[in-house]
Structure 1
Amino acid sequence: MSTIHDEKCDKVTLLTGRDDIYSGVTVDQNLLAKTVTLFERQLEQSLIAWRQAKRRGIWLSIPHDQTELIPTAQKFGFVLHHAKPEYVMLTHWLDESDLNKLPSYAMSTVGVGGLVVNKKREVLLIQERFTNVKDYFTIPGGCLDMGESIEHGVEREVFEETGIRAHFRGILAFTYKAQFRFGHGDVHFACLMSLDENEENQKIKFDPLEVAASMDVLDGREQLLEPDRIEVQLSNPNRSIWDIMMYRKKSIDKK
């Protein structure tokens, strides 16, 4: 831990942290001064030291209970990068001879859908409760949780929405939508799912908070639909990148 004395003869602890291979530093947030006044002097002296050491990019994580330090960091050139419940991350690119090479935060969400097929070659479909597309059916699915794998996420989503325990077998296809949420993209994986021998006769239990499908919605017909009755269509042909939805109009099966 390095310390210096500023012009007021106060001892200031320089900010240090983990160096990376790109001549950057991720600051140890445990070293942050506890008051705005001390932090201002600490950051000013640390920036001098980083520039002398030819550091290029600085990653400064400020804990949620010290957010009063953020305006001071911004005054010295730091910009907001991303935020989580535990902290706010700011960055500062110091190398004036090169463009800012610091990577942006994650730009896409990841979604999954499970194509569940039983031995009768029937496919499990749902009608979503919250959707702009009415009277259509799609495979159960949703967004992955933070740090969750595709395999675990699709098994979880299928079970939460339908009560069916199915098992991931592989990825059938994926799509990418450039403008999905908050200006970020969305990657969606359609996954093949299967049932074990003792799971073929599971009862379907739709989640009423997410799924609108029921025996009544399906006109009293079975809730497992034949694969050859499913169409794959482009939901919006005017987009430069189309998102593909598996669905079937209710009117197809009306007699």
Structure 2
Amino acid sequence: QSISLRKQATWLGHLEERRGRVTGLDIHSSIVVFTFHLVQDLCKVESAAPIGAGSESVFMSLHVTGSESVFMSLHVTGSESVFMSLHVTGSESVFMSLHVTGSESVFMSLDVTGSESVLMSLHVTGSESAFMSLHVTGSESVFMSLHVTGSESVFMSLHVTGSESVFMSLHVTGSESVFMSLHVTGSESAFMSLHVTGSESVFMSLHVTGSESAFMSLHVTGSESVFMSLDVTGSESVESGFMSLHITGQGFIHPTPIHPPLSPLHGL
């Protein structure tokens, strides 16, 4: 108890020292209230300390109990404000931060427990906004990002586990949209792409394993559609099959599949 009282006396002395330092300044808009709840010591200390000039104000609060502690801080000036919060319990901790100026605002959040951590960030200006999220556990991690401006939006996602990773991307503007996906495991990889504009759409797919690769493409416009497929294996007698289908409003052409040899494909 004597140690606790000594700490309180030291803190109050610190406040008095700071109060003395700003004597004579215009402190009408910069009164700061410190409130400390020390439940485990069965005492409460409240003190008001002017610690800033007329251009800024700072508020801080610390709340401590036997099972949790909460710290908050607010810093305000004529051009910006910054809020921070830290919440800690026996099993998790949560940090939040909000930074606001006349032209932008930035929010960040970090949540950490014994088994996972989550980070989030939101950045907003007059012309764009960007959101990011990272989720990490003992077995997987997931990253997401969304970027939006007046003319375009971009979404990205990356999912990683011990055995596979999946990446996705979506890009959208006023005239086109592009989607891409990449899936990778220990034994195979698959890539897909879809490109869409006002006049055409193009889909591509590439699938690769240890023994074969398959490529497909579909191109569609207002007047025609073209499908292509290429399948390559690596068996003792190298086998490759290529197909192409071209369709217009007047008919279609379907070339006979070619079974080897196609020497340029031998290297595949």
- Could you state the TM-score of these two structures normalised by the residue count of structure 1? 0.26
Return the structure number with greater strand share: 2
- Could you state the TM-score of these two structures normalised by the residue count of structure 2? 0.25
Return the structure number with greater helix share: 1
